[in-house]
Amino acid sequence: MTTGILAFGAYIPRKRLSRAAIYAANAWFAPGLKGLAKGERAIGDWDEDAITMAVEAARDALTGFDRSKVAGTILASTTFPFADRQNAGLVKEALTLSDESATMDVGGSMRAATTALTQALRAADGRPQLCVASDMRKSRPASEAELLNGDSAAAVLVGEGPVVARFLGSHAVSVDFVDHYRASGTDFDYGWESRWIRDEGYHGVLVDALKGGMAALGTDAQSVDRLIIPVVMRGAAASIARKAGFRDEAVADGLLTQVGDGGASHPLLMLVSALEAAAPGEKILLVGFGQGVDMILLEATDALRELPPRRGVAGSIARRSADDNYLRWLFHRGQLDLERGMRAESDLKQPATALWRERRGVMGLVGGRCTVTGTVQFPKTEISVSHNEHARFTQEDYPLADRRARVVTYTADALTYTPAPPLYYGLIDFEGGGRMKVEFADVEEGDVEVGRELEMVFRVRAVDERRNFKRYFWKAAPVAAEA
Amino acid sequence: MASGIKDKVAILGMGCAKFGERWDKDAGQLMVEAFDEALVDAGIDSSQIDAAWLGVAYDGVSLGPSGIPMSFALRLPNIGVTKVENYCASGTESFRGAVYAVASGAADIALAMGVEKLKDTGYGGLPIRTLGTNLDMIGVEGSGPGNFAQLASAYRSVHGVSKDDLKRAMAHVSVKSHANGLKNPKAHLRSAISIDQVLNAPMIAEPLGLFDCCGVSDGAACAIVTTPEIARALGKKDLVTVKALQISSSNGWEQQQAGGWNGSYFHTTRIAAARAYEEAGVTNPREQISMTEVHDCFSITELVTMEDLFLSKEGRAWRDVLDGVFDADGAVPCQIDGGLKCFGHPIGASGLRMLYENYLQLLGRAGDRQLQKPPSLALSHNLGGQPSENVSAVAIVGLADA
């Protein structure tokens, strides 16, 4: 059997913050940033983080795929919401994957995703495994990182069978080259001079590794059709490619203008973008850089043409909402302490007992379907809600997360505390049955009305700031108009 | 079939504190204010009370757990004091306890009290509280206005009413209540407002603006009930008796798609109203009900409630409102005391406050706001929760001989 990538998916938050808006707020202090103030960067909403973005990317990757076959989930990130509570485990619950599947977090480097993918490809035993990368890095106001970074997630399904990209081999180099670092428990990177990073890191460590890697893989650099170097410094990818002997036209676009540097997610995001454009037979070299270099050589196959349509990177970029509210973003990332009022003071303690009991409903949005009446409901209960027959203990699991819904009633509530007022919510009906009262996400003013079509998205519901616990649940987002 | 409550219980006396931002009084003192008025009205002293019920919705801020705080405040004679909570319908729920005690013969004289002390929270609107362990994980922590505002979105869609038309009808509801509240010395808000003020007010929860919402108040109201026979023996001549008392609670039907609820009305109110009319022998409510006090927590709630009480045809209430049917000089005056909107909404007290107004109007004791046409049957509608899950209470009181 052929080992490789069976499917892929991506998620980029729809909000794109104008870099000019970031620069305008900070120009008085850091006028030298002007050169970076072009285009826009993706920013997560207040209720998004590395876990929620990972879930959305994984759902995209699993489009049309039988989830019961997924044997494992690896999550790569440097911004895990939890240090000790497996983040990949939350992703697995949200995806309603089998309890009898493996999960693993991989972090600690910008190479996390390529290292995770290498391991998944090398360990492939015929059972599909999800490899997800997601990062939402914080950056100090008026820093270069603030302008260059962009929140994103990407996922690939690794396994054997009708792969869309065949695994040809991998190579790794590990050296403690500290271009930047972030200490445990802190928010911000500390980076060294970019000229040194370019000369010694990119043109030194990285170019050398590429040359050595191609030799080890027995491949001519000129034969590579798509070279993915997740380095956003202007001109760097091209000069690295040239010095390492690759063709100029093979260098993949770094997605800087529309998205920004995703951090640990960026290699996979660029890979997904490359796969979307690749023709069967093309060779793709995926590179990861961070205290060394990972290289993964792939070859696109005819199966690309059979893959069901998905959002991917192209769809994610198109699903865009322009934003120039820099202060709101700082507040949403916890970097601006707005007066939130007494209504924000409630205690949001989550009983662990109840979360465990209700985890299928809360994390997976699994409702119930009465086997006698066929009535669908959320949440699942012992006595059916059906008014025709209150049948007892007849409900089977009924996942609702991937079903579209429509608005029955709604409001835009300016009184309830929310980090993004007004709070939109309402009653919704799912296609095929089931109804729930739910918060809405990603609502543009004027774009909600009775009957509006919705899709469910996994989001942060509330944050218990006293105990540093995040509560997650599903929200309903208006389905974007077809492009 | 149960024989019902009609004419089995009479109101011996009632009292109501001044509603408002009562910075000067705590919940116990507000109860004393209402209780002393009721004792004088009833012509008894507290030693004659056999049992008591207390309705309060936010015991955390109002007065703490159990019925003991009322027993302490009123120095009741070591009788059983039962505290009840049923959202904003807690006042009528308290009344139900006392009425049932008398009707059963277990008590000769019973007290129903409702109280709420909300202005110790530090902010406007209702106190923020947990939805319960499970709903805190999967529910929506919407505000009162947000929950009820959704009626408007569905009502517009179901009945094909434009945003502007419905907003104007809702504005008429509030303007009417302010005009009525102006004449009520115990009301929290006593100021007239214009349609334009309502239409141009800041948005609270679309489409409800500031004047589409009642505020929250401190206050207490109470009723002392007994049998008609004991009331007459105590010297009462004009008796107001309970004609019907019905409470209906949601069981989730509204939240299942297959049920067909469209979000534009109160399923429970229709059930409670139908049962109450049957209990009271009312066959044509628009003709037979003299006046109503309904749960106008928001203008849209009052508007759709006119349909749910069968006073307007379905989809027609917005026109009836604009036509003045429920104005002070209309066919079925509504909120003649200012309603929740202006009298105020101390949650646990509101159901009893409505009964207080109906009682005064029936006895011709409502002062400047006394209806010109003497009422004979008065309805109160006290609702708790939100449109998709709620408890709806309908009480009809009337002159004993009506």
Per-residue pLDDT of chain A (483 residues; tens, 9 = 90+): 799 999 999 999 999 999 999 999 999 999 999 999 999 999 999 999 999 999 999 999 999 999 999 999 999 999 999 999 999 999 999 999 999 999 999 999 999 999 999 999 999 788 999 999 999 999 999 999 999 999 999 999 999 999 999 999 999 999 999 999 999 999 999 999 999 999 999 999 999 999 999 999 999 999 999 999 999 999 999 999 999 999 999 999 999 999 999 999 999 999 999 999 999 999 999 999 999 999 999 999 999 999 999 999 999 999 999 999 999 999 999 999 999 999 999 899 999 999 999 999 999 999 999 999 999 999 999 999 887 788 899 999 999 999 999 999 999 999 999 999 999 999 999 999 999 999 999 999 999 999 999 999 999 999 999 999 999 999 999 998 764
**Domain count along chain B:** 2
Asked whether residue B227 falls in the same domain as residue B259, the answer is no
Asked whether residue B49 falls in the same domain as residue B81, the answer is yes
Distance in angstroms (rounded) separating the CA atoms of residues A387 and A372: 13
Tokens matching residue B43 = 């012509």
Complex ipTM value: 0.94
Alpha carbon A110 to its chain centroid, in Å, reads: 15
Contact A426 B153 (CB under 8 A): yes
Contact A413 B133 (CB under 8 A): no
> Which residues, at least 6 apart from A35, have a Cβ–Cβ distance to it below 8 Å?
none
Asked whether residue B307 falls in the same domain as residue B170, the answer is yes
> Which residues, at least 6 apart from A143, have a Cβ–Cβ distance to it below 8 Å?
A188
Q: Which of A362, A423, A450 sits opposite B137 (nearest CB)?
A: A362
Assess contact for A381 and A432: CB atoms under 8 A.
Answer: no
- Among the candidates B200, B233, B266, a domain finishes at B233
Assess contact for A311 and A60: CB atoms under 8 A.
Answer: yes
A227 by Cβ neighbours in 10 Å (0-12 / 13-18 / 19+) ranks as: buried
Distance in angstroms (rounded) separating the CA atoms of residues A462 and A441: 13
Residue A430 at interface with chain B, using a CB cutoff of 8 Å = yes
> Which residues, at least 6 apart from A471, have a Cβ–Cβ distance to it below 8 Å?
A348, A350, A460, A461, A462, A463, A464, B137
Domain that holds residue B81: 10-120+218-233
Asked whether residue B224 falls in the same domain as residue B258, the answer is no
Asked whether residue B355 falls in the same domain as residue B325, the answer is yes
Residue of A287, A282, A293, A296 whose CA lies nearest to A224: A282
Assess contact for A347 and B136: CB atoms under 8 A.
Answer: no
pLDDT tens track for B106-155: 999 999 999 999 999 999 889 988 899 999 999 999 999 999 999 999 99
> Is A351-365+400-478 a CATH 3.90.1200 domain?
no
Contact A342 B258 (CB under 8 A): no
Asked whether residue B173 falls in the same domain as residue B277, the answer is yes
Domain A3-182+190-332: homologous superfamily in CATH? Thiolase/Chalcone synthase (3.40.47.10)
Q: Is residue B16 part of a domain?
A: yes
Distance from CA of A338 to the nearest CA of B (A): 18
Distance in angstroms (rounded) separating the CA atoms of residues B49 and B43: 12
Q: Is residue B14 part of a domain?
A: yes
Other residues' Cβ atoms within 10 Å of the Cβ of residue B191: 11
Asked whether residue B193 falls in the same domain as residue B65, the answer is no
pLDDT tens track for A279-290: 999 999 999 999
- DSSP 8-state class, residue B86: B
Assess contact for A426 and B140: CB atoms under 8 A.
Answer: no
Contact A435 B256 (CB under 8 A): yes
Assess contact for A76 and A52: CB atoms under 8 A.
Answer: no
User: Quick one: CA dihedral B2, B4, B8, B12, positive or negative?
Assistant: positive
115-154 in chain B: CB under 8 A from chain A:
121-123, 125, 128-130, 133-134, 136-147, 149-151, 153-154
Assess contact for A8 and A272: CB atoms under 8 A.
Answer: yes
172-211 in chain B: CB under 8 A from chain A:
202-206, 208
Q: What is the 3-state secondary structure (H, E, C) of A154-211?
A: EEEEEEECCCCEEEEEEEEEECCCCCEECCCCCCCCEECCHHHHHHHHHHHHHHHHHH
pLDDT averaged per 10 residues in sequence order, chain B, 402 residues: 91 98 97 98 98 93 92 98 97 98 98 97 90 94 96 98 98 98 96 98 97 95 98 96 98 89 98 98 98 98 98 98 98 98 97 98 97 96 97 97 76
Contact A354 B137 (CB under 8 A): yes
Tokens matching residue A139 = 């950056």
Distance in angstroms (rounded) separating the CA atoms of residues A153 and A75: 10
Asked whether residue B248 falls in the same domain as residue B364, the answer is yes
Residue in this structure with the two tokens 């000069």, named with its chain if needed? A239
Cα angle for residues A227, A231, A236 (degrees, 5° grid): 85
Q: Which of B128, B133, B205 sits opposite A354 (nearest CB)?
A: B133
Optimal mutation site among A427, A447, A449, A463, interface B, most CBs of chain B within 10 A: A427
Asked whether residue B222 falls in the same domain as residue B256, the answer is no
Assess contact for B354 and B291: CB atoms under 8 A.
Answer: no
Assess contact for B15 and B37: CB atoms under 8 A.
Answer: yes
Query: Is the N-terminal amide bond of A422 cis, ω within 30° of 0?
Result: yes
